[in-house]
Structure 1
Amino acid sequence: MKRPFHLFAILATIALTASRPLPPEVANPATFLADVKTELTKQWPKNRSITLVFHGHSVPAGYFKTPIVNTLAAYPQQLLKRLKDKYPYAVINVTITAVGGENSEQGAARFQTEVLSHKPDVLFIDYALNDRKIGLEKAKQSWQAMIEQAQQAGIKVILLTPSPDLKVDMANADNILNQHANQIRQLADTYQTGLVDSYKAFDGQRQQGDSLGRYMAQNNHPNEMGHVLIVDELVKWF
């Protein structure tokens, strides 16, 4: 008895699907930084310096209410403190290459000379707030360029979605910040990098009825409490 043609088509589709590689996913927090975490546990004289580089705009640079720069309360230094509590034997260098007012296109232009030159063990990229000025496509190209250069150099990359701007309605799922957040999530999937979803963390507070204003030093810069929300997500990778 001959099998119907459509059955052959179904079987062929199943076989083709099974032979395809699984789609990439965001890196697994349990394993992504395993080698870095091992280094962080080593004691002298077997340990070495671990370098964390934070590349982006005014938020990782530490701007609160402009022109005040509250370096020690911003998330890079808060993360350092949390890591030192967890890894007391570690020598950890935190390097800030972030520039207030900069977008990812500008950040990509100085990436080779001012970021890769530090030879980071882990690189954090946070540009989405300012990328609204250049649009999704240019932002995507710039993030891709930085991710690819970093990965070619063997650097672990963690991408950050944007923290809030109080002028943007987060209740509208199609708002421009969430569009950039979605693009960053897709980049994390494509390149299998780490992802810190700052946008989701703040939006979760909003959805619980909390006032986002409590977490902001000005409309587009988090205060210390806001930076804590970001650090709570960052530290999960360590």
Structure 2
Amino acid sequence: MLQGVHRVVMLGDSITQFGDGYGGYVWMTRLFLQKLYPDQNIELINAGISGNKSTDMLARYQTDVLDKKPDLLTISVGVNDVWHGFYDNHPMGDGPKGIPLEDYKRNVDEMVTKAQAIGSRVVILSATPIYEDFGNRENAKAAAYNGALKDIARRHHVPFVDYQRPFRDLIGAYRRTTGARDNLLTTDGVHMNPQGYRVMTHTLLSALGISPEARAAVEPDVLKQK
């Protein structure tokens, strides 16, 4: 996936936008790639904007993604498409601020199609959990959206990075072992804390084919950066 890659664009919402701060998954991914592939002069552009849903990302897609001509594009979209549907007292998630599943599918499919048309390699990232309670209505609804992402990835022959599995495993083990119900990987149930961002980073790098040994070799240099 990374052979010949010089420019990476990471498209997303607040999790991506804020992920460029120290210890964030965008920040860490950039440094890992630069340390692992110094001869490629990899530039990583953060195209995350807080609050964005698939409709918002598609509206700015030409300027923020296609015009950058990325060799590699990661697409992170879905949390707000689902979560905002619960706003303003809509406990079933069917409120007007959410994006219906069929519209979401079309929006993401169009993003992937347009990126591939200009020769960009695409990686689709699953949505992360909406609160650290996998039995809630938000995550139940999000399951269909993540399923749609997986189907789109399969049809377009691009990698799909499943964040649900590691988050579910780690949070589940934490709660079973300690009995604690507080947040383990997020600050507020949605936005990542440093541990959550590390999970995101290593899951993504693994999906890109970077071995644990290669990551471990450069991680001390990554973490000492400011």
TM-score range, shorter chain: 0.7 to 0.9
Instruction: Quote the residue 2:90 is aligned against.
Output: none
Cα distance in structure 2, aligned partners of 1:165 and 1:212? 14
Identity %: 24
Q: Which residue of 1 aligns with 2:196?
A: 226
Larger Rg: 1
| Displacement after TM superposition at 1:131 (Å) | 1.2
Task: Work out the number of aligned pairs and report it.
Answer: 187
Match of 1:138 in 2: 103
Runs of 4+ deviating beyond 6 Å: none
Matching of residues 88-107 of structure 1 within 5 Å: 88-107=38-57
Q: Is the CA contact (8 Å cut-off) linking 1:201 and 1:229 kept in structure 2?
A: yes
Name the aligned partner's letter for residue 198 of structure 2: V
- Residues 74-96 of structure 1, C-alpha deviation per residue, up to 9 Å, x if partnerless? 21111112223322333111111
Deviation of 1:197 (Å): 0.9
Distance 1:171 1:206, change over 3 A: farther
Greater CA drift, 220-229 or 207-216: 207-216
CA RMSD after TM alignment: 2.0
Q: What displacement does 1:171 show?
A: 3.7
Q: Does 2:133 correspond to 1:169? A: yes
Residue number in structure 2 paired with 1:57: 13
Cα shift readout 1:144-176 (whole Å, capped 9, x = no counterpart): 11000001111100011111221x631469701
In structure 2, the residue corresponding to 1:73 is in which secondary structure? coil
Partner Cα distance (2:17, 2:170) in 1: 24
Which region of structure 1 is more displaced relative to structure 2, 202-211 or 125-134?
202-211
> How much does 1:53 deviate?
0.3
Instruction: Look up the match of 2:93.
Output: none
| Counterpart contact for 2:8–2:43, Cα < 8 Å | yes
Aligned-pair CA distance for 1:235: 0.7
Q: Does 1:152 align with 2:108?
A: no
Whether the 8 Å CA contact 1:206–1:212 is kept in 2: the answer is no
**1:219 to partner: Cα distance:** 2.1
Query: Does structure 2 retain, via aligned residues, the 8 Å contact 1:51–1:122?
Result: yes
Return the offset for 1:201: 1.8
- Which stretch shifts more, 87-96 or 112-121? 87-96
Question: AA paired with 2:149?
Answer: I
Residue aligning to 1:182:
147
Contact 1:205 1:212 in 2 (8 A): no
Letter in 2 for 1:54: M
Contact 2:171–2:184 (CA under 8 A) maintained in structure 1? no
- Supply the AA of the counterpart residue of 2:134: M
Query: Which residue in 1 is equivalent to 2:72?
Result: 122
1:194-205 to 2 correspondence within 5 Å?
A: 194-205=159-170
**TM-score, scaled relative to structure 1:** 0.72
Note if contact 1:163-1:199 (Cα within 8 Å) is conserved in structure 2. Answer: yes
Distance 2:192 2:152 in 1: 24
Deviations 1:48-92 (A, max 9, x none): xx11101111001116xxxxxx62322111111222332233311
Matching residue's letter, 1:214: L
